[in-house]
Homo-oligomer: A and B are copies of this chain.
Amino acid sequence: MGAEIELTERLARLFGADGRGVVVGIGDDAAVVRTGPRTVLTTDPVVAGVHFEPDTPLRLVGQKAVNRNLSDLAAMGATADYLLVSVLLPAKMSPRQRQSLFLGIRTAARRGSCQVVGGDVAVTPGPLVVTVTAVGRAPARPLTRSGLRPGHHLHVTGSLGGAATGHHLRFRPRLREGRWLAGQRAVSAAIDISDGLLLDLWRMLRASGGLVGAVLEARAIPVRWAARELSRRSGRSALEHALGDGEDHELLFGVRPGGRLGVGGPLTQRARRPIGEVTAKPGLFLRTADGGLERRRPEGYEHDV
């Protein structure tokens, strides 16, 4: 009990959420915050041995736990305002390790312009589990997964593959990009790529009614440098890593045919070029570099270390 009290008080000091919008912060039974008429909510855990190797620096674990959730808000085009953090600490973690974890959480919260307003810390036999809930304001027209129709172009906000070599701990959630996309009438749908391009694209197609498919252009898919490096060790091509690896946390989005993305904004030139197209024919296909059409299964990253 003593440990739990002491930790909650330390959290209150560390996060000291009493900034804009916070009516009652850490230290009461619940937080009270100011909200708009439509609020976006998401929760996601990270678990030692499942979402990160047990020897990962705890600062990065804290950042990942927050950023996974901010990436979900980004995919809706939402603003991130508040975080709740539930931490299950293994009894054997030192005070210094705990501090690293909490500092990582704080760093990611600050970068995302949001505040930790509540939390719970319990000491357990293990493993370390950090479950973050992120709360934000919805845009006038939230982006969802379900707006894809035949003829829509598919785009991604950044390069893909090989996240397991480090990107999964260090990615920057695409909050700016998501908010900008939500303001574009040409944009029809979006998803956070957390389990691999093919699998998350397949989820979008299903959410969009299921009677649609997609063709991805192998030559247009932006492959992360880490995927090329990983390819040398794994024996699989860099493209396969880009198609199937998880934890890219880039946004995959649809653009209506003839629709134009506004000038300016945070997208790279590459993100403005499509990587494929939604089709009336169901199924996932890849147009290979030699022009052939390969049917692909919606396989994705399986979370295991």
A: which residues have CB within 8 A of B?
A: 1, 4-5, 23-24, 27-45, 47, 49-50, 72-73, 75-76, 78, 82, 84-86, 88, 117-120, 122, 124-125, 127, 129, 131, 133-135, 138, 142, 144-146, 190-192, 195, 199, 203, 207, 299-303
A224 to B30, CA, bound (A): 26
In the complex, 21 of the A-B residue pairs with CB atoms within 8 angstroms, ordered by the A residue number, are: A4-B303, A24-B76, A29-B72, A29-B73, A30-B40, A30-B42, A32-B40, A32-B41, A32-B76, A32-B138, A34-B39, A35-B38, A39-B39, A43-B43, A43-B119, A45-B122, A45-B131, A50-B124, A86-B131, A133-B133, A135-B135
A130 and chain B: residue at smallest CB distance: B131
- Contact partner, A43, options B75, B86, B88, Cβ 8 Å: B86
A141 to B142, CA, bound (A): 31
A281 to B218, CA, bound (A): 75
A117 neighbours in B (Cβ, 8 Å): 41
Copies of this chain: 2
A301 neighbours in B (Cβ, 8 Å): 1
| Nearest CB on B from A129, distance (A) | 6
A142 neighbours in B (Cβ, 8 Å): 23-24, 32
A86 neighbours in B (Cβ, 8 Å): 43-45, 131
A138 neighbours in B (Cβ, 8 Å): 23, 32
Supplied contacts A45-B129, A47-B122, A129-B131, 19 more A-B pairs, CB within 8 Å = A4-B195, A4-B303, A28-B144, A30-B41, A30-B75, A32-B38, A32-B39, A32-B138, A33-B41, A34-B39, A35-B35, A41-B118, A42-B84, A43-B131, A44-B120, A45-B86, A45-B120, A47-B124, A86-B131
A43, B84: Cβ atoms closer than 8 Å: yes
A129 neighbours in B (Cβ, 8 Å): 45, 88, 129, 131
A1 to B1, CA, bound (A): 37
A50 and chain B: residue at smallest CB distance: B124
| Nearest CB on B from A9, distance (A) | 9
A31 neighbours in B (Cβ, 8 Å): 40-42
A29, B76: Cβ atoms closer than 8 Å: yes
